[in-house]
Structure 1
Amino acid sequence: MGQERIIHAALLGAGTVGSGVYKLVKDLEEEIISKTGARLVVDKILVRDTTKAREGIPSELLIDRWDEILNDPQIEIVIEVMGGIRPALTWLEEALRAGKQVVTANKDLLAEYGEHLFDAAEAGKCDLHFEAAVAGAIPIIRPLRQSLVASELTEVMGIVNGTTNYILTRMTEDGMGYEEALALATKLGYAESDPTADVEGYDAGRKVAIMASIAFNSNVTFSQVYTEGITHITAEDIRYAKEFGYVIKLIGMTRLTEGGVEVKVHPMLLPEQHPLSTVRDSFNAVFIHGEACDDAMFMGRGAGQLPTASAVMGDVIDVMRNILHHSCGKIGYGCYRNLPVKSAEDTVSRFFLRIQVTDKPGALANIAGILGNNDVSIAQVVQKRSHDGVAELVIITDPVREKHFNDALSILKGMSVLKEVSGVIRVYGN
């Protein structure tokens, strides 16, 4: 029997996910040997403070100098779970150009500088894997890059933020208001002390930028994604949506159209029968449509220590196999197209519009006239209640170019009969 092959790795970051990755490396030691034919050894773990004790991680592995990893010829894989843009971008570019394989969970970095990293990976003829950057344990990047490459994908949409899905689930099922549901999510650890990135749609936007780039082979960055959060969603919106047969979810969506790529994150009324409508609490799911594959959905835990660590380790094991079979770098970035990214105003949507108007004859006719003059066609309208001379109208439009809808809304806001615009939410379907 020949000498055992050892593959040496370094870990950047020893926080929640980093400690989960190290735990899986130890727990799966024999399994990894059986699955790859080599032993994985984490030699070094880069942290800011080497004096801080970290449960389950030997202190002798901790270092605070990147060059100790970069200049170590034994280290073949760099696993980055530290997060942030700097210095991660510099370090990973240097690692790839030096011929080290990279596995990362850094969605912020990939959503803004993915092209830089893949150029470095190509230059170094290296693997760059990032399954954990989008939707945690759910396998979505590998299917987009490999399994579905022959399917001519046209739409990728999903619930890719567990915090907002938990909040909306509690509002839907328990009748909570937004603030009450957010407080519960924070108490249970689903929401950060500063939940802005989640509730304003930024986290989902980064993930959608990555998925759009891979699905449509054209570079999309986070700054090109239209983002709208859930902070304005009310219990009334959810109740009325249910009456119309819809569920409100925060949806990240990207579509390939004749005019370019659409990339948006916003609350959406989904039909109750849509598969994503049943995705509850902190679960994530991604729904894909392609010309050949038709519809497919991937669902699971989108965050958490071990779900995310499992996605990281799946990539690491894949990289180990590539090292052993001398096939690293075989799957490139694939952004061979240069498609325009459409502005939100140039996309087409249906809208749910909830307004308070003066309860007098002709008010609805005036509103319908303004909408019609701006190419906004009404599919459904219901007067919900009238109180103190003010009536509440709920309108669902037919598909309309968003610019035309926004123009109509601006005019409506100037009408004396309009007292308040209480809610504007997009509706699924064209």
Structure 2
Amino acid sequence: MSDPIRVALLGCGTVGGEVVRLLGEQSVELAARVGAPVELVGVAVRRPHKHPEVPAELLTADASGLVNRPDVDVVVEVIGGIDPARGLLLDALKAGRGVVTANKALLAEDGVTLAEAADASGADLYYEASVAGAIPLLRPLRESLAGDKINRVAGIVNGTTNFILSAMASSGTGYHEALDEATELGYAEADPSADVDGFDAQAKAAILATLAFHTRVSAADVYCEGISAVTSADIAAAEAVGCTVKLLAICERVPGEPESVSARVYPAMVPLGHPLASVDGAYNAVFVEAEAAGQLMFYGQGAGGAPTASAIMGDLVAVARNRVAGGRGPRESAAAGLPIRPMGATPTRYHISLEVDDRAGVLATIAGLFAQQGVSIATVRQDVTPRDAGARGARLVIVTHLAPDAALAATVAALGELDEVFGVDRVLRVENLGRPVTALGVT
């Protein structure tokens, strides 16, 4: 066998602890797969005395010193955040050391700098664990589908929000009750804002769009809405038209001159007949639509210590094999350089529920307003609401055809100014993700 591949681990929380365990338990198998022993030579943590599960001789509070040790071949980073992770990984890459990271926030904000440092030194940069946990998704995008033209990558990439929305749909509970349940079960952090406000999915969407469209997309390029405003009434409204509500990350090519890239995260109605509608709990699922390969679905556990560690170990084996063979893995491809389409110009559909005056001519007035904004109505449903429930007229439920998001938002704002409209109760986007929304009559 070749000389050992020496690994430095930065961070030893839930995921890092699993990496330590797997390196120990699978040492014989790893050596056989790699062609050389894989040895853990150091673990950097802030408080070494808090980690009795790690041999004391491996622990250090000096992360920089560990990264810059001359005997380190690969650095595995699971500390998260932007700094000090950015500086540590840049030091490793500039020194020619392979890097395996699960740091989606850093990749989404400054992946360009990391990729350039890796290219300059010929080092490997792998990050499968940064999106969708154990699901092998990034490597197929970067390698298996590199010869195809990908048109859309869309799906559920945050397990916490999917658990909350699934609980609201199955039990009829409100958002806060479902969040409390997610926290008790360990699916939500004490501060859940990164998940429920959509920032976690936003970073992942940036990574997916960058790989899928060979165009550098940062988190700032991704439009983002979270789920904290979703109510049990929204869930019920979706059910009434044969849909459920999911927080979606959608990255797609938008035809035109020039062709552009749209990347966005928001809660949306998904028809019950679509496979994503049945993805419940903390699971993730992502659809990839390519011209030659067609539609592919990736499904599995998107978070957790063991699933994420599985993805890290896969990357570690790949980097170690490259070092044994004297080569390196695929470089980042950002040759396309497609422009990023702003959310206002991105075509979407809206489901709008409003309370209106129940008299002749109101529907015609509302339809005329939609026409003035250049928005086409796909379906309208009208229900007379019971006055003893506090309603003052009739309920209109309108689903639009595709239109620029800015035009749809302007339409909703204008509806609120009409004397005939007592209130716009609910507005949700509708996504068919490449399939007809037959339940809503939208094709």
The 3-state SS of whatever aligns with 1:198 is helix
Tell me if structure 2 keeps the 8 A contact 1:237–1:423. yes
Range with bigger deviation, 62-71 or 41-50: 62-71
Aligned to 1:38: 36
- Report the alpha carbon displacement of residue 365 of structure 1 after superposing the two structures with TM: 1.9
CA-to-partner distance for each residue in 1:282-335, whole Å, 9 max, x for gaps? 00011000001000000000000000011001100111111111112x411111
Range with bigger deviation, 358-367 or 186-195: 358-367
- Report the alpha carbon displacement of residue 222 of structure 1 after superposing the two structures with TM: 0.2
- Report the alpha carbon displacement of residue 53 of structure 1 after superposing the two structures with TM: 2.7
Residue 267, structure 1, aligned to residue 267, structure 2: yes
Tell me if structure 1 keeps the 8 A contact 2:415–2:424. no
CA-to-partner distance for each residue in 1:184-203, whole Å, 9 max, x for gaps? 11111111122111111111
Return the letter of the residue paired with 1:40.
Answer: V
- Report the alpha carbon displacement of residue 4 of structure 1 after superposing the two structures with TM: 5.9
Residues 22 and 386 (structure 1), Cα distance of their counterparts in 2 relative to 1, 3 Å cut:
same
CA-to-partner distance for each residue in 1:331-362, whole Å, 9 max, x for gaps? 11111122111111101011111112222332
Q: Any residues of structure 2 matched to 1:46-57 within 5 Å, and which?
A: 46-50=44-48, 52-57=49-54
Of 12, 20, 23, the residue aligned with 1:14 is 12
The 3-state SS of whatever aligns with 2:57 is helix
Aligned to 2:360: 361
Return the letter of the residue paired with 2:115.
Answer: F
Residue 172, structure 1, aligned to residue 169, structure 2: yes
Tell me if structure 1 keeps the 8 A contact 2:2–2:324. no
Return the letter of the residue paired with 1:346.
Answer: A
1:350 and 1:298 map into 2 onto residues whose CA distance is: 25
Return the letter of the residue paired with 1:124.
Answer: S
Aligned to 1:321: 321
Aligned to 1:221: 218
2:189 and 2:63 map into 1 onto residues whose CA distance is: 29
Report the identity percentage. 42
CA-to-partner distance for each residue in 1:369-427, whole Å, 9 max, x for gaps? 11121111111111234133232221111111112112211211111222222211111
Q: Any residues of structure 2 matched to 1:71-220 within 5 Å, and which?
A: 71-220=68-217
Of 50, 57, 62, the residue aligned with 2:59 is 62
Q: Give the TM-score normalised by the residue count of structure 2.
A: 0.94
Structure 1 gaps, min length 5: none
Aligned to 2:375: 376
Q: How many aligned positions are there?
A: 426
CA-to-partner distance for each residue in 1:77-113, whole Å, 9 max, x for gaps? 0000000100111110111010100000000000010
Range with bigger deviation, 12-21 or 381-390: 381-390
2:377 and 2:64 map into 1 onto residues whose CA distance is: 63
Tell me if structure 2 keeps the 8 A contact 1:359–1:386. no
Residues 65 and 396 (structure 1), Cα distance of their counterparts in 2 relative to 1, 3 Å cut:
same
Structure 2 gaps, min length 5: 433-442
Aligned to 1:386: 385
Return the letter of the residue paired with 1:348.
Answer: P
Return the letter of the residue paired with 1:423.
Answer: R
Tell me if structure 2 keeps the 8 A contact 1:5–1:37. no
Return the letter of the residue paired with 2:172.
Answer: G
- Report the alpha carbon displacement of residue 254 of structure 1 after superposing the two structures with TM: 0.5
1:181 and 1:385 map into 2 onto residues whose CA distance is: 31
1:234 and 1:360 map into 2 onto residues whose CA distance is: 29
1:340 and 1:152 map into 2 onto residues whose CA distance is: 17
1:151 and 1:32 map into 2 onto residues whose CA distance is: 32
1:228 and 1:91 map into 2 onto residues whose CA distance is: 31
Return the letter of the residue paired with 1:154.
Answer: N
Tell me if structure 2 keeps the 8 A contact 1:23–1:56. no
The 3-state SS of whatever aligns with 1:248 is strand
Range with bigger deviation, 133-142 or 415-424: 415-424
Tell me if structure 2 keeps the 8 A contact 1:53–1:59. no
Tell me if structure 1 keeps the 8 A contact 2:253–2:260. yes
Aligned to 1:344: 343
Return the letter of the residue paired with 1:150.
Answer: G
Range with bigger deviation, 238-247 or 208-217: 238-247
- Report the alpha carbon displacement of residue 67 of structure 1 after superposing the two structures with TM: 3.7
1:23 and 1:337 map into 2 onto residues whose CA distance is: 41
1:273 and 1:29 map into 2 onto residues whose CA distance is: 45
The 3-state SS of whatever aligns with 1:320 is helix
